[in-house]
A and B are shown apart, each in its own frame.
Chain A
């Protein structure tokens, strides 16, 4: 934008759609989450539905640093764009992904309101991962396979979710600790 010729700032004739700082931040973090999501989709998985969910680390980081709203934006964008990139948009895979993400965000919204010292990244990671898997299983049961066997699948999948959720929490905590150290230096 050119500086106005006169000393006084002229009022803008139109209001161009300019991204604010937070928009740029959300976009950058969402891009990072999409990269992790797509990278992970390339990894082979021993059991369908079992994956590390490293993209959720980004959600955790944004939640702790910037709050729930940006975290929800980053997650929604991640699910949408990853669906488009992987070609699963509006397919069952996408619906499972979206259902899981919505459940995880709902759980994180509750967890973020926890009184007292609240949750550390560790607890947030666990809660988000369990809610994510729970939401996915519910979507799978409600939309695709209304069979009691889904409950049997829940045991190994929820166990994996607990393990990977804790791992995500540890990764998020280490990144936050490093950022803090860098900021203090």
Chain B
């Protein structure tokens, strides 16, 4: 039996090469991990990928909070609460970080690869 690859063999090797190329591109390339902000409001939860800059208005228990996404970080720009702790806590950028406006019932948690911890339980 001579080892002569058949057309089907060549096809299989080509398909395998394409699959491996795609897997390696996915594994090594692709602009780093994307951290996503998980915004919990009284009305429900929405996700904001932090690679998309912009200003987002979120309806809470008291009124509208304004979130800003820039340079892979998120912060409260304004919120209809009295203390403004949320605005003063500034930017959150790493996975696992959290900013919240409790009076308005809005909690922003950052999820994604590479955080210092997987989860926090209070």
Contacts and interface: CB of A to CB of B under 8 A. Distances in A.
Give the size range of A's interface with the partner: 20 to 34
B5 interface: yes
B26 interface: yes
A116 B7 CA distance: 9
A162 B13 CA distance: 9
A152 B8 CA distance: 29
A148 B111 CA distance: 13
B115 to A, nearest CB: 13
Contacts of B8: 111, 114, 116-119, 123
A105 B6 CA distance: 20
A96 B116 CA distance: 30
B1 interface: yes
Nearest to B26: A151
A155 interface: yes
B24 to A, nearest CB: 5
B19 A123 contact: no
Residue from A130, A149, A170 with most neighbouring chain B CB atoms (10 Å)? A130
Interface string B85-119: 00000000000000000000000000001000000
Interface string A110-149: 0100101111101100110010000000000000000011
A158 B23 contact: yes
A35 interface: no
B12 interface: yes
Contacts of A117: 6-8
Contacts of B27: 151-152, 154-156
B71 interface: no
Interface stretch (A6-14, A41-49, A173-181): A173-181
Contact of A130 (B6, B7, B19): B19
Contacts of A114: 8
Interface pairs A-B: 4 shortest CB-CB: A123-B9, A155-B27, A155-B23, A117-B6
8 contacts: A119-B6, A119-B9, A123-B8, A123-B13, A148-B113, A155-B26, A155-B27, A173-B3
